A and B are shown apart, each in its own frame.
Chain A
Amino acid sequence: MNTTTTTKNAGPEHLVELTNLVKRYHGRAILDGISARFGRGQITAMIGPSGGGKSTLLRSINGLNTIDGGEVRVGEHRFRPGQATDREVLQAVRRTVGMVFQDFQLFPHLTALGNVMEAPQQVAGKSRTAAEAHARELLKRVGLGERCDHYPSQLSGGQKQRVAIARALAMEPQVLLCDEITSALDPELKHEVLDVLADLRDDGLTILMVTHEIGFARRAADRVVVLAEGKIVEEGPPEQVIDRPETERTQRFLKNVLG
């Protein structure tokens, strides 16, 4: 599957590549030499203990974090330490990479529709009509066709997160970064968001998700990466990493999570 280039953007088989990535914070290495590649049309689930560097890794990919060493490549764009402020590269990367946050971060002064239309109009320069048609389609797709004119405060957590996904998709990204997007949701609402993700993967979107949903990771992810103390301690297909972990660190983590 990884060898066929099915997307219109022909390029390297791995859309995102991290090489020896280092991020320090107050002298402590949050990311301690991470190298990883993420293939097209895959869901990669990143699991691991809190403070292990999962979110930092994700935010390094679209430049919300600067990096202190190594290199990030997204498509043909690369950036290294000190270049993170190169706005044009960052802008280009962010056009390729969408992101969904744990606490939604919808724009509270705009309706669901307005949230989804904003970036296509302001960043991609789409016309209002085109942006609105696309936004309605996306909201319908995440099951919120009837909620277009609701403000974020009038939506449930699960609905908010689905609007946030639609907002990210409106820029037609090739990669979607999901940072613990179900953590703030009630258990019975999590599935509506996870179902949307599974659906997107089927459309060929590359998804990198930081999650604590071991069950979902196992069911839907193509690959699982275990991050602890700033290092990748284990990676592989879910049935291997989750059911038959090889390293002691992974075993300990899973034991703690699954109880």
Chain B
Amino acid sequence: MTACRRTNKIFAKPRHCLTLTPRHGQASESLRDAPHCHIRNSGLLKSHSRSNRGLLSFAAILVATLACLFVSPSDAAADGPRNERLRQRLESGVLRWGGDAEGGAPFQFFDPGTQALIGFEVELVDGIIAELRRQLNLPELKAEYVQYKWVSLPQGLEKKDFDLIVSGLEITAENRAAMIFSRPYYIYSQQLTVRADETTIRSVEDCKDRPIATLSGSAANRFLTKMGATRISAFEGQIEPYQELALSRVDAVLLDLPIAVYNAGSDKRFKFVGDRVGSGFYGIGLRPDDGDLAAALDEALGEMMRSGRIREIYSKWQLWNVDQFELASADRPAEAAGLRNKTDEPQSGGAAVATQNWTFRAYAPLLLESAGVTVLLSCLSMAVAMAIGLIVAVCRLYGPAPVRLLALVYVEFFRGTPLLLLLTFLYFGWAHVPYIGVDLSAWEAAVIGFGLNYAAFEAEIYRSSIMAVPRGQWEAAQALGMTEVTAFRRVIFPQAFRTALGPMTNDFVAMFKDTSLVSVIAIVELTQRYQILARSSLKFVEIGALTAALYLAMSVPLGHLARYLEDRWSVGHK
């Protein structure tokens, strides 16, 4: 409820201007936007435009006068203290905006050449800052970029790591429960992309039971879920879905148009099909107590729309389309509501409903299912790690010099490279490697990746455990006539394994938690499920506690089992 009221408060500002904005907006659009461009670009329209010029100028003056009459007094009264408050608010001279540049093209990303932050949102923010400087008479005001993980942006805002979110954040009921929004700055829609030789898919509906990739937590993801698509692969980055498509692991990708244009628009391997669906708004997210700032942003954006700056920016990034004409009116509740009704956003999935529905029974099965994924993945990976680890350890201890060196290189390599890198490479990169490349499924990549990485650590545990077996045990076994292989198998290894068990259990528990990394290759395990559920319901604490309890339910008994086995087996030691 509070969230709703707060939301209304910022939307009260545009509503206050309502009486004038339509005329003002229309006038300015016809004045500055459409005709202006035509004058510049089309000689045919020149005379026509010129003949209208006097009339239009007159209309503009009339509107401006009316604006002065009706708005200025009240606005001056309201904006005076507001601007004063804002100047105090922005005393530091820095407005921090949060976004995610990781795979963030064309929104915001680091230029591969210069490493400068670029993107249409970067230019948008620059424009806004310029407007704010003028509006608030703060010539020193600067923007500061804060890199953040996209899914955590709302939390970052709340924790005041930054003041604005400008990162393709959709204005949805869920998001509105946690923050307030500026007026929309872009109207997005979802574009379906398929491989160039695809003939059977003509619209999103054709993908109901076909493998389709999208971005985790995005509007497209929600659209697909709502549509009842059965084979969605949701990734944390926006590039991965198109890689999946290129590798024929999925048949289609549904993502925001800007993303589709940037990643697939000029790629001959792909083509766009079907109508754009699921449109909605990108807005700038602010903390609920930053209503003044929100109003100032609204004004700044409005001015940029009127001046044509927005169109300029979007055109430059090939993002301008007819939908954007509605931007100018999207701050008016009536039309905005109309637009919103046109969207396919699952409004019923909003926070208010989710809050009422929160029960242990609703979330436990989903979390349990994902815990099953975690357990299965961890067990398979650990089995692989322990098997490879033993081979590597034996090679390191008993192999001829080149084999020993190779085993050492193995250990150093996998111990020294991040698991995330390995997983990403195995899943997305290996298929492209000539001759030895293999197209792995997500599960294969996960089990192999974890197995190979953990094997390096297990090998070292095996090695130290084997070396800890007294030399005399070898001699005793050999004196009995055992070959080295028999001695190792029957005498040395059984003892070493018992010693290794403790440290390996530690690794196993660590792996339970490390498996959360597989969300990068679209496997939904427990942590990922937690993030999805918590972000859609905002029940971070409740679901978090439940998730933690599940992790503990897995790791604590494991620790006890290991200790029990160690105790039982250590009867034989000493």
Interface residues of chain A, those whose CB is within 8 Å of chain B, are: 62, 64, 87, 91, 94-95, 97-99, 101, 103, 105-110, 118-119, 122-124, 151-154, 167-168, 171, 177
Q: How far is the CA of A103 from the CA of B476 in the complex (A)?
A: 10
Which listed residue (B472, B482, B572, B574) contacts A103, Cβ 8 A? B472
Residues of B within 8 A of A62 (CB): 479
Contacts A109-B494, A153-B574; A119 near B475 (Cβ below 8 A):
no
Which listed residue (B480, B483, B491, B571) contacts A87, Cβ 8 A? B483
Residue of B nearest to A114 (CB): B572
Contact with A along B57-85 (1 / 0, CB 8 A): 00000000000000000000000000000
Contacts A109-B572, A110-B572, A153-B572; A99 near B479 (Cβ below 8 A):
yes
Residues of B within 8 A of A122 (CB): 482, 486, 490
8 additional A-B pairs beyond A103-B472, A153-B573, A177-B479, beta carbons within 8 Å, are: A94-B481, A101-B476, A109-B573, A122-B486, A123-B480, A123-B482, A152-B572, A153-B571
- 24 A–B pairs (Cβ distance < 8 Å), ordered by A: A64-B479, A87-B483, A91-B481, A94-B479, A94-B480, A95-B481, A99-B476, A99-B479, A103-B472, A105-B475, A106-B476, A107-B476, A107-B495, A109-B495, A109-B498, A110-B572, A118-B480, A118-B490, A119-B481, A122-B490, A151-B572, A152-B572, A152-B574, A168-B480
Residue of A nearest to B573 (CB): A108
Residues of B within 8 A of A168 (CB): 479-480
* A171-B481 in contact (CB<8A): yes
Contact with A along B455-488 (1 / 0, CB 8 A): 0000000000000001011011111111100100
Which listed residue (A64, A151, A177) contacts B571, Cβ 8 A? A151
* A167-B495 in contact (CB<8A): no
Contacts A122-B486, A122-B490, A153-B574; A167 near B480 (Cβ below 8 A):
yes
B569 interfacial by beta-carbon distance below 8 Å: yes
Which listed residue (A64, A124, A171) contacts B478, Cβ 8 A? A64
Q: How far is the CA of A109 from the CA of B490 in the complex (A)?
A: 10
Q: How far is the CB of B480 from chain A (nearest CB, A)?
A: 4
Residues of B within 8 A of A101 (CB): 472, 475-476
Residues of B within 8 A of A98 (CB): 479-480
Q: How far is the CB of B460 from chain A (nearest CB, A)?
A: 22
* B571-A105 in contact (CB<8A): no
Q: How far is the CB of A159 from chain B (nearest CB, A)?
A: 14
Q: How far is the CA of A135 from the CA of B477 in the complex (A)?
A: 17
Residue of A nearest to B471 (CB): A105
* A105-B572 in contact (CB<8A): no
Q: How far is the CB of A150 from chain B (nearest CB, A)?
A: 10
Q: How far is the CA of A94 from the CA of B572 in the complex (A)?
A: 26
Q: Is the interface of B mostly helix, strand, loop or mixed?
A: helix
Q: How far is the CA of A108 from the CA of B477 in the complex (A)?
A: 12
Greatest chain A CB density within 10 A among B478, B480, B569, B574 is at B480
Residues of A within 8 A of B479 (CB): 62, 64, 94, 97-99, 168, 177
Contacts A107-B491, A109-B494, A109-B495; A119 near B482 (Cβ below 8 A):
yes
Residue of B nearest to A107 (CB): B491
Q: How far is the CA of A153 from the CA of B574 in the complex (A)?
A: 6
Q: How far is the CB of B486 from chain A (nearest CB, A)?
A: 5
Residues of B within 8 A of A107 (CB): 473, 476-477, 491, 495
> Which residues of chain B from 544 to 574 have any CB-CB distance to chain A below 8 Å in the complex?
569, 571-574
Residues of A within 8 A of B495 (CB): 107-109
Q: How far is the CA of A85 from the CA of B344 in the complex (A)?
A: 79
> Which residues of chain B from 474 to 528 have any CB-CB distance to chain A below 8 Å in the complex?
475-483, 486, 490-491, 494-495, 498
Residues of A within 8 A of B482 (CB): 119, 122-123
Q: How far is the CA of A95 from the CA of B486 in the complex (A)?
A: 15
* B475-A64 in contact (CB<8A): yes
* B569-A109 in contact (CB<8A): yes
Residues of B within 8 A of A154 (CB): 571
Q: How far is the CB of B470 from chain A (nearest CB, A)?
A: 7
Contacts A87-B483, A94-B478; A108 near B490 (Cβ below 8 A):
no
* A108-B475 in contact (CB<8A): no
* A108-B574 in contact (CB<8A): yes
Greatest chain B CB density within 10 A among A107, A151, A154, A177 is at A107
Residues of A within 8 A of B569 (CB): 109
Greatest chain B CB density within 10 A among A106, A109, A152 is at A109
Residue of B nearest to A97 (CB): B479
Q: How far is the CA of A124 from the CA of B480 in the complex (A)?
A: 10
* B494-A105 in contact (CB<8A): no
Q: How far is the CB of A151 from chain B (nearest CB, A)?
A: 5
10 A-B pairs with the lowest CB-CB distances in the bound complex, closest first? A105-B476, A119-B480, A99-B479, A153-B574, A94-B481, A109-B572, A105-B472, A123-B481, A108-B572, A151-B572
Q: How far is the CB of A43 from chain B (nearest CB, A)?
A: 19
Q: How far is the CA of A105 from the CA of B477 in the complex (A)?
A: 9
Residues of A within 8 A of B470 (CB): 105
Residues of A within 8 A of B483 (CB): 87, 91
Residues of B within 8 A of A94 (CB): 478-481
Residue of A nearest to B495 (CB): A109
Q: How far is the CB of A255 from chain B (nearest CB, A)?
A: 33
Q: How far is the CB of B569 from chain A (nearest CB, A)?
A: 7
Greatest chain B CB density within 10 A among A123, A168, A177 is at A123
Residue of A nearest to B491 (CB): A107
Residues of B within 8 A of A151 (CB): 571-572
Residues of A within 8 A of B498 (CB): 109
Residues of A within 8 A of B475 (CB): 64, 101, 105
Q: How far is the CB of B181 from chain A (nearest CB, A)?
A: 66
Q: How far is the CA of A154 from the CA of B571 in the complex (A)?
A: 8
Q: How far is the CA of A99 from the CA of B482 in the complex (A)?
A: 13
Residues of B within 8 A of A97 (CB): 479
* A123-B486 in contact (CB<8A): yes
Residues of A within 8 A of B473 (CB): 105, 107
Q: How far is the CA of A110 from the CA of B498 in the complex (A)?
A: 13
Residue of A nearest to B473 (CB): A105
